[in-house]
Chains A and B, each alone.
Chain A
Amino acid sequence: MTSRPTDSGLAPGSASRPRLSLNLRVWRQESPAEPGGFQSYRLEQVSADLSLLEALDQLNEQLIAAGERPVHFEHDCREGICGSCGFLVNGQAHGPQAATTVCQLYLRQFEDGATLSLEPWRSRAFPPIQDLVVDRSALDRLISAGGYCSVNTGQAPEGNAMLVGQEQAASAFATASCIGCGACVASCRNASASLFVAAKLAHLGQLPQGQPERQKRARSMGQQMEAEGFGSCSSNLECEAVCPKQISADWISWMRREAR
């Protein structure tokens, strides 16, 4: 099957851009009640300038034309900030490139003829939905267990009444950049959400507004983490390696001290 669509404006000049062919082994599972399995597909001569999700779009158009059910995968912003997308690519959460979500993983990262195995996050706290889609609402429940400042905002104070040092603000920002994708959970052998929770605790715990209930927040989110079925930190640091926002696992140690 040709990979080039006939019905939209392919930019002139793009024909000279690199192309490649890929073998995709995709986890297909109709519903949580039915067993899943890998199904193989081949994509011929796709543009190396496409993201992996755009390659799946292209595969889906072929499947639809052939009367098959397209592959269900989660996505939205496609620029690495919404945290919707994510699956394992050859066993690695979000694939081989550091600091990158699958929507930002471009095919130029792969060799022509490569085989990519795509499978969903696997964790007791993330029940399967369909194909590559799992239910990650446990992360929302973690936030509602204390990942906020519980004072009403009220009258906006003068912005500069509370000074925050530049380094401290930058450090808080680094932890606030978590997008909640769940890659840390998916890559941990205990399926722990420690990095996710630590990032939120450190984001709020480093800013003046988060001080009043720092300890209570740490305890409450820790308890919720257990209640949701996430495991304990495995100390493998795989979470840090796969985090698309490169949040440091040092914050997990920091969290341990917070919750005492």
Chain B
Amino acid sequence: MPFAREYGGTLATRSFGGALVSRTFYARGQTGQQLLYGAYQALMRQVALGRVELLCRRDLLELVTVDGVARGAVCRHLLTGALEVHTAQAVVLATGGYSNVYFLSTNALKSNASAIWRAHRQGALFANPCFTQIHPTCIPSGDAYQSKLTLMSESLRNDGRVWLPAMAGDERPPAAIPEAERDYFLERQYPAYGNMVPRDVASRRARELCNAGHGVGPGGRSVYLDLRDAIAREGRETIEARYGNLLEMYERISGDDPITTPMRIYPAPHYTMGGLWVDYQLMSSIPGLFVLGEANFSEHGANRLGASALMQGLADGYFIAPATVTAWLAGHPTPAIAVDDPACRAALERARGRIAALLQVGGRRPVDAFHRELGALMIERCGISREASGLRAGLQELEELEHRFHSEVRVPGSAEGPNPELEKALRVADFFGLAQLMLRDALAREESCGAHFREEHQSAEGEARRDDANFSHIAAWEFRGDGAEPLRHSEPLCFTALQPSTRSYR
């Protein structure tokens, strides 16, 4: 893993959002990608040794449980369309987060919540679904057919200064706005942390000012991130070496040169702290079902700081699961069930039924049109900031949209062979269920906490106000059938060494 190095050969560090000290190892702007390659290579080594068999191009459609214990999964082969039953003594899900419920996010387009959502419907509790993080440094959207909001490394906030025109509605190009008429709003509001305030704070302040008419770019939905002062201070070459391909990437997407004109950024959904509830063994409320990484709810609480997801990947995958999954296997030497076990047949029938139903709708609108609508609804009602009447309205709009999806969608092709539209339809259908749970959870949590900001619960300065007396707990939701109200369980948080305090970045 080619980590960045100091001249003496020691590991170089950099600071990330929410931290005042430089303490994180990195590999230019692609630390996560390089760690992924390291993990991929280690995996391929196990493949070569015959210890791991890869079954690529599969989507998990159903979890198989017997007497409430996870015993297998039903997957769809994405090239043949065949439904496969895999039986096992334990099931481990490491299927990532659900930011794509917002349609436009920084996630890869095929990221989806189907595996965890299907497990939830089989009895796994879903914890804190409303804790979703919006990342401030993304390249903003322009056209309705835009499919993705590309994340730029937050490290840019080390050297870039975030600003907006002080005057609302100012349409002059950035170079024509004199220094005195620029509002470096993060530095103004947070003198201690300045541009390095945590992601949720930076995102919220950007949204507020854009809503107040100060925003720039198409639709006034972006803010400037300006490298001018850093370039003047350290020279163009130093800055280009530090951010390398990030600046090229920005230029490719936006068509603007970030060296000569300030970049435009806007917040985008990036990470979901919520996920399936797990215990300290990373086992969900379904015995034998383990959930690792972003797919579970653990480790980050209501917000996640820079580099902490990599920490979680390491903690879950390297330290915890190898000990706890093996312990479970040792204690449960039951042979795998047969693939034609009634539980497998039932799971297979559920998957088959959902596929047939989607193919039979015969409507006129493509899946993406509904996904875009769902995303717009969720970012408006359950995005950077939330509020009770908006959440209630969102629940109604969602119900209506889901109904239209199941009566107006057109999924071309058949269940056999490659059918990307069917893959998307199955994922979007699951996102509807999850979106409803997110809205319910956001409505029930009557406090502002981490990335969950309820407008009713803020201080006079507009900062998040927690309610530890009533909400210092994990909300774990139990599925009780279609159309039935899910049940909200709460698991109290116990702080023994340190007590939570009010954070201040001012």
Do A and B originate from a single complex?
yes
By a beta-carbon cutoff of 8 Å, the part of chain A in contact with chain B is: 4-5, 7-14, 17, 31, 46-47, 49-51, 53-55, 57-58, 60-61, 64-65, 67-70, 72, 75-82, 97, 99-100, 104, 106, 108, 129-130, 133, 137, 140, 143-150, 153, 159-160, 163-166, 168-170, 172-173, 176-177, 203, 207
Q: Which residues of B contact A64 (CB under 8 A)?
A: 366, 410, 412, 421
**DSSP class of B's interface residues: helix, strand, loop or mixed?**
loop
C-alpha gap A47/B144 in the complex (Å): 9
**Which residues on the B side are within 8 Å of A177 (C-beta)?**
30
- B5 touching A11 by the CB < 8 A rule? no
The distance from the CB of B12 to the nearest CB of chain A, in whole angstroms, is: 8
- Does the CB pair B369–A159 fall under 8 Å? no
- Quote the shortest CB–CB distance from A116 to chain B (angstroms): 17
Is there contact, CB below 8 Å, between A7 and B45? no
Q: Please determine whether A65 and B4 come into contact, CB atoms closer than 8 angstroms.
A: no
- In angstroms, how far is the closest chain A Cβ from the Cβ of B359? 13
> Are B48 and A145 interface neighbours, CB within 8 A?
yes
0/1 interface trace, chain B 302-328, chain A, CB 8 Å (1 if under): 000000000000000010000000000
Q: Which residues of B contact A51 (CB under 8 A)?
A: 147, 253
Does the CB pair B143–A17 fall under 8 Å? Answer: yes
Q: Counting CB contacts under 8 A, is B361 at the interface? A: no
Query: CB-CB < 8 A to B151: which residues of A?
Result: 79
Complex contact A70–B412 (CB within 8 A): yes
A61 touches B369 (CB 8 A): yes
Our pick among B147, B248, B412 for the contact of A54 (Cβ within 8 Å) is B147
> Are B372 and A7 in contact, CB atoms less than 8 angstroms apart?
yes
Query: If the complex has contacts A53-B147, A166-B9, are A69 and B412 also in contact, measured as CB distance less than 8 A?
Result: yes
Task: Tell me which of B8, B217, B418 has the highest count of chain A C-beta atoms within 10 A of its own C-beta.
Answer: B418
Query: Please, which residues of chain B bring their CB within 8 A of the CB of A144?
Result: 44-45, 47-48
Known contacts A50-B145, A78-B108: does B44 contact A143 (CB below 8 Å)? yes
CB distance from B2 to the nearest CB of A (A): 4
Given the interface pairs A69-B413, A70-B420, A150-B45, the reply to whether A164 lies near B253 with Cβ below 8 Å is no
- 10 more contacts with CB within 8 A, not counting A146-B48, A148-B45, are A9-B144, A13-B218, A46-B145, A60-B366, A61-B369, A64-B421, A65-B364, A65-B410, A72-B418, A207-B2
Question: Which listed residue (B146, B249, B421) contacts A70, Cβ 8 A?
Answer: B421
Nearest CB of B to A58, in Å: 5
A104 & B366 in contact (Cβ 8 Å cutoff): no
CB of B28, distance to nearest CB on chain A (Å): 6
B412 partner, pick from A67, A97, A147, A166, beta carbons under 8 A: A67
Inter-subunit contact A17/B27 (CB<8 Å): no
* Closest-CB distance, A33 to chain B (whole angstroms): 11
Q: Is the CB of A76 within 8 A of B253?
A: no
Task: Contacts A163-B9, A166-B5 given; indicate if A8 touches B369 (C-beta within 8 A).
Answer: yes
- Interface of A (DSSP majority class): loop
Q: Are A172 and B218 also in contact (CB < 8 A) when A8-B373, A106-B253, A129-B79 are? A: no
Interface bits B108-119 vs A (CB < 8 Å: 1, else 0): 111000000000
Closest to A7 in B: B369
**24 A/B residue pairs, CB under 8 Å, sorted by A:** A7-B365, A10-B144, A11-B141, A12-B218, A12-B219, A14-B142, A14-B219, A31-B417, A49-B143, A55-B145, A58-B145, A61-B366, A64-B421, A79-B148, A82-B108, A106-B253, A129-B418, A143-B40, A149-B41, A159-B11, A164-B5, A165-B5, A170-B2, A176-B27
B10 located at the interface, meaning its Cβ lies under 8 Å from any Cβ of chain A in the complex? yes
- List A contacts of B28 (CB < 8 A): 173
Contacts of A137 in B (CB 8 A): 56
B281 beta carbon closer than 8 Å to chain A: no
Smallest distance from the beta carbon of B436 to chain A beta carbons, Å?
20
Q: Which of B125-175 contact A (CB under 8 A)?
A: 141-148, 150-151
Which residues of chain B come closer than 8 Å to A203, judged between CB atoms?
A: 2
Q: Are B255 and A108 in contact (CB under 8 A)?
A: yes
Task: Pick the residue among A11, A50, A148 that contacts B218 (CB under 8 A).
Answer: A11
A75 to B111 Cα, complex, angstroms? 12
Asked if A81 and B30 make an inter-chain contact with CB atoms under 8 angstroms apart, the answer reads yes
- Decide if A57 touches B368 in the complex (CB within 8 Å): yes
Q: Is the pair A78, B147 in contact by a Cβ cutoff of 8 Å?
A: yes
A46 to B144, CA, bound (A): 10
In the bound complex, residues from chain B placing their C-beta under 8 Å from that of A106 are: 252-253, 255
The minimal Cβ–Cβ distance linking A152 to chain B, given in whole angstroms, is 9
A144 to B108, CA, bound (A): 25
Whether the Cβ atoms of A17 and B142 lie closer than 8 Å is yes
Contact with A along B280-300 (1 / 0, CB 8 A): 000000000000000000000
Whole-angstrom distance between the Cβ of B177 and the nearest chain A Cβ: 18
Closest Cβ of chain A to B343, distance in Å, is: 32
Encode B63-94 as 1/0 by CB contact (under 8 A) with A.
00000000000000001000000000000000
A75 touches B9 (CB 8 A): no
A9 vs B373: C-alpha distance when bound (angstroms)? 9
B:319-375 near A, CB below 8 Å: 364-366, 368-369, 372-373
Of all chain B residues, the one with the shortest Cβ separation from A146 is: B48
Q: What are the 7 closest A-B residue pairs judged by CB atoms, nearest first?
A: A163-B9, A11-B219, A148-B41, A47-B143, A173-B2, A144-B44, A172-B2
B366-414 with Cβ < 8 A to chain A: 366, 368-369, 372-373, 376, 410, 412-413
B145/A54 in contact, CB under 8 A: yes
B10/A99 in contact, CB under 8 A = no
- Chain A residue contacts of B369, Cβ below 8 A: 5, 7-8, 61
Least CB distance from B398 to A in Å reads 16
Q: Which chain B residues in 1-60 approach chain A with CB under 8 Å?
A: 1-11, 25, 27-28, 30, 33-34, 37, 40-42, 44-45, 47-48, 54, 56
Is A47 a contact of B30 with CB atoms below 8 Å? Answer: no
Q: Measured between alpha carbons, how far is A112 from B347 in the docked complex, in Å?
A: 51
User: Which residue in chain A gives the minimum CB-CB distance to B33?
Assistant: A81
Q: Which residue of B25, B221, B412, B420 is within 8 Å of A11 (Cβ)?
A: B221
User: How far does the alpha carbon of A159 sit from the alpha carbon of B44 in the complex, in Å?
Assistant: 24
A9 in complex: contacting residue of B47, B148, B364, B376, CB < 8 Å:
B376
Partner of A76, one of B8, B108, B366: B108
Distance A177 CA – B352 CA, assembled complex (angstroms): 41
Task: Decide: B253 and A104 in contact? CB cutoff 8 A.
Answer: yes
In the assembled complex, the Cα of A123 lies from the Cα of B376 at a distance in Å of 42
- With contacts A10-B144, A82-B108 taken as known, whether A160 is within 8 angstroms of B44 at the C-beta atoms is no
Q: Decide yes or no whether B258 CB sits under 8 A from chain A.
A: no
Contacts known (A64-B412, A160-B10); A8 close to B376, Cβ less than 8 A: yes
Taken together as a complex, chains A and B put the C-alpha atoms of A42 and B114 apart, in Å, by: 35
